[in-house]
Structure 1
């Protein structure tokens, strides 16, 4: 299992981005993604962190399959910094 820590910029208010993200939770679950956390920086509301767990390759496929929805949410895709962590 991989833990993905994603940080990125949004170009819409956090509440609007979060509404779209939360609406995607059933799709994430069906894809095998477990959402652990989502929040914005206390210093800059355009900076977001999302933490999710999935098997290798699942996160990348989900992003590829749902790029239009992700971008429409306000997520500036090219700003994404992804760090992947393993338990072992």
Structure 2
């Protein structure tokens, strides 16, 4: 199991991005590949910065991101700002 921590900037208000991220379509896409969203939140100091934490099979979160960059960008995620950290169960 891999836990992936994403930090990135938004080009839209957090509520607008979160409505898409929390949508049934995205939930179904994540469930289909065994990916679970553990947390998503906005920085208390910078309303354009987001942290999201997901857990799933090794490599799945990265693959979903790579395969869906244009859709993700369309939701307001500034792709170029993305910092990804991955952690494995020991």
TM-score, with length taken from structure 2? 0.92
Which blocks of at least 5 consecutive residues in structure 2 are unaligned? none
Paired position in structure 2 for 1:7: 7
Q: Superposed, which structure 2 residues align to 1:46-61 within 5 Å?
A: 46-61=48-63
Higher helix proportion (structure 1 or 2)? 1
Q: Superposed, which structure 2 residues align to 1:6-85 within 5 Å?
A: 6-23=6-23, 24-85=26-87
Q: How many residues end up aligned between the 2 structures?
A: 88
User: What's the offset of the Cα at 1:4?
Assistant: 0.3
How many Å separate the matches in 2 of 1:63 and 1:7?
13
TM-score, with length taken from structure 1? 0.94
Higher strand proportion (structure 1 or 2)? 2
Runs of 4+ residues over 2 Å off in structure 1: none
The CA RMSD over aligned residues, in Å, is 0.9
